[in-house]
Amino acid sequence: MKFIEKGTVIKNENIAPNIYDLSIRLPKIAKEAACGQFVEVYPDNGTNLLPRPISICETNGDSLRLVFQVVGSGTRLFSGLKSGDGVRVLGPCGNGYPLTNAKSFILAGGGVGVPPLLETAKRLKKLGNVNVYLGFRSHPFLTEDFEKIGIVPHIATDDGSVGFKGNVTELMKSENVQADIIYACGPKIMLKSVSEYGEEKNIPVYVSMEERMACGIGACVGCAVKIKKDNGFENKKVCKDGPVFDSREVLWE
Ligand SMILES: Cc1cc2nc3c(=O)[nH]c(=O)nc-3n(C[C@H](O)[C@H](O)[C@H](O)COP(=O)(O)OP(=O)(O)OC[C@H]3O[C@@H](n4cnc5c(N)ncnc54)[C@H](O)[C@@H]3O)c2cc1C
Ligand code: FES
């Protein structure tokens, strides 16, 4: 069940270059939220900007934590939110990661695909062994938050400034990592390579596709993703049918 809820900003901090850590009191949405789901945040500044999808990084009692990168007008507006400000949010949206009866998990995240993996790691830790692989261009963030829940993440940076020099899949390959299931979130190119890694090792991979969205409610084709069907494909919508898909079903291009 989705709600539009008027939340109150608890805090909003700049935690890395262009990356903000926003906590909003949203009791109804927080109570319902599952890992891998997202919310639509409304930029209420008098313009007609559409709501922006942001993954749920953490649920903490009656609040949600969102971690986002400033890339354009909507996220720039969110970066200016201050404690006490009101903000309209629709959620929880999307299907989230399926929780199976697997016992060992790899979480693989790249850039702004890392935030939803924190709540996912918290929940999976109760079910089995969790290993976390995170890739960044240059400035890691949220790594201490994984440590706080007892998981030391394996870090890769493109420039080698922290951890392994290279991308997250190269890091996973270098360690020949194994698990019952992989959950991944990040840019499409990374999701494709993690999916190939899973296929090679015979490990199912669930990918969260943070495609560009428009309406966010299934009414346009702004977020279409190609899903294999018979000898061809069908378009599915990230906002309505996703954002999580079984990587074996995705037609990677
Ligand atoms: C399900 C889902 C979950 C998401 N979770 C997060 C999250 O947790 N943290 C986070 O930082 N971002 C997340 N995003 C991406 C975020 O929604 C966009 O960055 C945001 O909507 C951009 O809005 P804007 O108004 O600031 O930028 P716009 O003015 O709309 O766009 C500015 C630039 O960013 C590009 N852009 C916009 N959206 C995306 C996108 N989805 N992927 C790649 N490039 C894009 C545009 O092409 C343009 O070049 C998520 C997206 C989806 C679909
Ligand atoms: S954003 Fe319009 S259908 Fe998904």
Measured from the Cα of 243, ligand 1's closest atom is 1
Segment (H or E) for 192: helix 188-201
Pocket of ligand 1 (CB under 6 A): 38, 52-55, 68-69, 71-75, 112, 115, 210-213, 238, 243
Nearest ligand to the C-alpha of residue 211?
Answer: 1
Assess if CATH 1.10.3720.10 describes domain 3-93. Answer: no
pLDDT at position 231 is 83
pLDDT at position 219 is 82
pLDDT at position 99 is 87
Judge whether residue 47 has pLDDT over 80. no
Higher pLDDT, 243 or 214: 243
34 CA distance to ligand 1 centroid (A)?
21
Judge whether residue 133 has pLDDT over 90. yes
Q: How far apart are CA 79 and CA 77, in angstroms?
A: 5
Judge whether residue 174 has pLDDT over 90. yes
Which CATH code is given to the segment(s) 104-249?
3.40.50.80
- Kindly state the percentage of the chain with pLDDT values over 90: 85
Closest of 53, 79, 74, 66 to residue 238, by C-alpha: 53
Q: How far apart are CA 121 and CA 107, in angstroms?
A: 7
The tokens describing 149, both together, are 């829940």
| Arithmetic mean of pLDDT, 186-211 | 95
C-alpha to C-alpha distances, 171 to 106, 125, 195, 236, nearest whole angstrom: 12, 22, 14, 31
- In short, whether 222's Cβ falls inside 6 Å of ligand 2 is yes
Judge whether residue 48 has pLDDT over 70. no
How does residue 6 score in pLDDT terms, banded at 50, 70 and 90? Answer: very high
How does residue 129 score in pLDDT terms, banded at 50, 70 and 90? Answer: very high
| Arithmetic mean of pLDDT, 48-73 | 93
Residue 115 · residue 141 · CB < 8 Å: no
Judge whether residue 217 has pLDDT over 80. no
Q: How far apart are CA 50 and CA 37, in angstroms?
A: 19
Q: Where are the chain's structural domains? A: 3-93, 104-249
pLDDT digits (tens, 9 = 90+) for 136-161: 999 999 999 999 999 999 999 999 99
Higher pLDDT, 218 or 201: 201
* pTM assigned to the model: 0.95
Judge whether residue 212 has pLDDT over 80. no
